[in-house]
Amino acid sequence: MKNSLDILIIGAGIGGLTTALSLHEIGLKSRIFEQAKEIRPLGVGINLLPHSIRELTELGLQKNLRGIGVEIDELRFYTQYGLEIQRESRGIKAGYKWPQFSIHRGELQMLLYKAVQQRLGSDCIRTAQTAVDLTQNNDKVSVSFKDSNTGQNLTTQEADIVIAADGIHSTIRKKYYPEEGKPIYGGINLWRGITWQESFLSGQTMILAGALKTGKMVIYPISQPNKEGKTLINWVAEVKTDSYKNNEWNRSGRMEDFAHLYAGWQFDWLNVPLMIENAEQIFEYPMVDRDPINCWNFGRVVLLGDSAHPMYSIGANGAGQAILDARTLAGFLKSLDNPLDALKAYEANRIPTTSAVVEANRGDGPDHLLEIVAERAPEPVDDIHSIITQKEIDDIGSKYKKITGYDRETLNNRDSIVI
Ligand X SMILES: Cc1cc2nc3c(=O)[nH]c(=O)nc-3n(C[C@H](O)[C@H](O)[C@H](O)COP(=O)(O)OP(=O)(O)OC[C@H]3O[C@@H](n4cnc5c(N)ncnc54)[C@H](O)[C@@H]3O)c2cc1C
Residues forming the site for ligand X (CB under 6 A): 10-16, 33-36, 42-44, 46, 105, 130-131, 165-167, 171, 192, 249-250, 305-306, 313, 318-319, 322
Residue 183 · residue 247 · CB < 8 Å: yes
Count other C-beta atoms under 10 Å from residue 152's C-beta.
8
* Distance, CA of 357 to chain centre: 12
- Looking at the Cβ atoms of 218 and 261, the one nearer to ligand X is 218
SS3 301: strand
- What does the alpha-carbon distance between residue 222 and residue 224 come to, in Å, rounded to a whole number? 7
| Between 14 and 369, CB nearer to ligand X | 14
Q: How far apart are CA 145 and CA 220, in angstroms?
A: 39
CB of 388 to ligand X, least distance (A): 28
Q: How near is the Cβ of 3 to ligand X at its closest, in Å? A: 25
- Tell me the three state secondary structure of residue 203: coil
Element (H, E) at 344: helix 339-361
| Per-residue buried b or exposed e for 117-129, using 16+ beta carbons within 10 Å of the residue's own CB | eeebeeebbeebb
Least Cα distance to 70 among 95, 50, 47 occurs for 47
416: DSSP letter: P
Nearest to 331 by CA among 321, 319, 316, 343: 343
* Cβ 45 to ligand X shortest distance, Å: 6
Q: What residues does 134 pair with on adjacent strands? A: 143
Nearer to ligand X, 250 or 413 (CB): 250
* Closer to ligand X by Cβ: residue 143 or 384: 143
Q: Is the dihedral of CA 75, 77, 82, 84 positive or negative?
A: negative
Q: Which is nearer to ligand X, 367 or 393 (CB)?
A: 367
Q: Quick one: 210 or 320, whose CB is closer to ligand X?
A: 320
Q: Which is nearer to ligand X, 131 or 239 (CB)?
A: 131
Which of 44/141 has CB closer to ligand X?
44
CB of 339 to ligand X, least distance (A): 21
User: Which residues are registered as beta bridge partners of 89?
Assistant: 74
Tell me the closest approach of the beta carbon of residue 319 to ligand X, in angstroms: 4
Least distance to ligand X, CB of residue 413, Å: 27
Name the minimum Å distance from CB 323 to ligand X.
8
The distance of closest approach from Cβ of residue 184 to ligand X in the complex, given in angstroms and rounded to an integer, is 15
Determine the 3-state secondary structure of 80 from DSSP: coil
Beta carbon of residue 385, minimum distance to ligand X (angstroms, whole number): 33
CA distances to 109, 258, 289, 365 from 191, in Å: 21, 8, 17, 20
**CA-to-CA distance for 213 and 234, rounded, in angstroms?**
21
Closer to ligand X by CB, 82 or 186: give it: 186
